[in-house]
Amino acid sequence: MTRTSAAGGGGSASLAGEVAFVTGAGSGIGRSCAVALAARGATVMVTDISEAAAREVAAVTGQPDNFRRLDVSDPRGVEAAVADTVDRLGPLTVAVNNAGVGVPTPYRTAEVSDEEWRRVLSVNLDGVFHCVRAEVEAMLRNPERGRRGRGSIVNMGSVGSLVGLAGAVTYTSAKHAVLGLTKATAAEYARDGIRVNLVTPGYVDTAISPRTDEEKAALGARHPMGRLAAPEEIAGAVCFLASADASFVTGAHYSVDGGFTSV
Amino acid sequence: MAVPAGRASGQRFTGLSILVTGAAGEIGSAVAGALVAEGARVTLADLDATVLTQLADELGSAAHAVPTDVTVEEDVERAVAEAVAFAGGLHGVFNNAGIEGPVGPITELDLDRFAQVLRINVLGAAAVLKHSLPRLDAGGAVVQTGSTASVAGSAHMAPYVASKHALLGLTRVASREVAARGVRVTAVLPGPVHGRMMQRIESGRSGSGTATATTPTALDGGRYATVAEVVSAVLFLLSGEAGFVAGTGLLMDGGRLA
């Protein structure tokens, strides 16, 4: 068999009837998540710092009106976006908090300015907190739906949630913190039927991180599987966690890293 | 691309050959049934030949029973060979055979019974890996039945906890050895599952002591996982949807360890 042997296609996790809110959905992993959620039947609000990118992805999902610009570092903006999603699309039952910024050029800790620290943390940690707070608040208003609970929140971590990435102290710190945020929130709201989990991808081959073939090969070699992830492979785990198939999964981190961490 | 589009939803395993050990148990038989329902040809291995044959009859022509004692290496070798012969290859393994072992404090441990738990839960799983990994090509996957006991302790459960910790280590090592050729080895780590094993553990029928796992702060007031929830996670990990998930155990414990 080829690579597809124990493999398959569309997946079994139906998301029909779910209303999903995705941040950073204009490109990369977030875009794949929005498209995959919609393909499984969810109504999806595509949000991104770039309104043009959000609009384009909304068109791809077949729900061309469901987009808006969102800067997750702005707490009032996040609250407004979640409220708008509920108003327009119905009770929020799925959220994918994916928006994040990277570290374009590696630096060491002693070289990081106050401004750089705030730039990364304001999006990668504060932004996730703003979203989770608003989403939980919205989901608490939902009725219990048996094993589907009131809602499922999936945060986007990284191998940097689990191991230290040299050259990226800001990113590593934020992604570790998001693991703690995920677990604490999961523990708090488990009894309310709100699940909160983290997906921790390895390096992903996306258009927003243009790399030469040599760079891709070098990065891929850091994963035991010897390659980078495709965005769709991250979206598969996100859809599983969002769905009722994962009805007993909360407070967990799901590594989708080709064996990078083996934890 | 490891996740080809276009396969009909709910038919992730059409034409694929999957070996399930511990197939007569509650989780094993449910996984086998779900795999057949999604189009797989499934080879059922278990010590309990009677239940195994019944299950194969129920599942019909897509299932093949091979009575197997995972502590006997020749049995394991034959089960793998029969899976290959039955379905024209091997694409996935649910490495699931295991027992809870004696329940009781360490000060009262019967070391021979401890060793028997390790022979089944660890060496048995290792034998299955030893003989199945060479038959899996790129895209192939092994899912092992770990437990929250793979990452956390539980009073009166020393043999089981030690064995499940070992199983997760085995998962990580096996993954590192085969990942480069596109074969994935992963584990599911369920909390206590509603079923016969927990009934035995809680009633004291498995040894001199009992163990409980109530966690009222967890999901749904501390209920146990259902077999169906474990099945969903196993099928996800076996499928191409998890094409970049390797060397890791996925917790499903209702927030117990959060």
What is the mean predicted confidence (pLDDT) over B91-106?
Answer: 96
| pLDDT at B204 (0 to 100) | 75
Q: Report how far residue A80's alpha carbon sits from residue A66's, in angstroms, rounded to the nearest whole number.
A: 15
pLDDT more than 90, % of chain A? 89
Does domain A19-204+230-256 bear CATH number 3.20.20.140? no
- Comparing CA positions, the residue from A242, A252, A254 lying closest to residue A11 is A242
Q: Which residues does B167 contact at the CB level (< 8 Å), separation at least 6?
A: B121, B122, B125, B144, B145, B146, B150, B187
**Is A171 an active-site residue?**
yes
pLDDT digits (tens, 9 = 90+) for A42-74: 999 999 999 999 999 999 999 999 999 999 999
Give the per-residue pLDDT at B6: 34
Residue A243 has pLDDT above 80, yes or no: yes
| Mean pLDDT to the nearest integer, B110-123 | 98
Confidence of residue B220 (pLDDT cuts 50, 70, 90): low
Residue B221 in any domain: the answer is no
What is the spatial distance between Cα B163 and Cα B168, in angstroms, rounded to a whole number? 9
Domain boundaries, position B96 = 17-192+226-248
| CB atoms B248 and A223 under 8 Å | no
Number of folded domains in chain B? 1
Q: Indicate whether B210 belongs to any domain.
A: no
pLDDT band for position A10 (cuts 50, 70, 90): very low
Task: List alpha helices for chain B, DSSP H.
Answer: 26-37, 49-59, 73-87, 111-118, 124-132, 158-178, 196-203, 227-238
Which among B176, B190, B253 has CB closest to A259?
B176
Q: Is B143 inside a domain boundary? A: yes
Q: In this structure, is the dihedral angle defined by the CA atoms of residues A45, A137, A73 and A160, taken in order, positive or negative? A: negative
Could you tell me if A146 lies within 8 Å of chain B, comparing CB atoms?
Answer: no
- Considering only alpha carbons, which residue of chain A is nearest residue B252? A249
CA angle B248, B6, B140 (to 5 degrees): 35
The confidence score (pLDDT) of residue A81 equals 98
| B245 → chain A, closest CA residue | A256
User: Each residue of B26-45: pLDDT tens digit?
Assistant: 999 999 999 999 999 999 99
Q: Answer yes or no: is B234 within a domain.
A: yes
- What is the value of ipTM here, to two decimals? 0.86
CATH number of the domain to which B162 belongs: 3.40.50.720
Burial of A260 (0-12, 13-18, 19+ CB in 10 A): buried
pLDDT digits (tens, 9 = 90+) for A148-186: 999 999 999 999 999 999 999 999 999 999 999 999 999
Give the pairing type, strands A19-22 and A151-156: unpaired
| pLDDT tens per residue across span B177-208 | 999 999 999 999 999 888 888 888 877 777 76
Interface of B with A in 194-233 (CB under 8 A): 217-221, 225-226, 229, 232-233
Q: What is the mean pLDDT of chain B?
A: 91
Q: Is residue B238 part of a domain?
A: yes
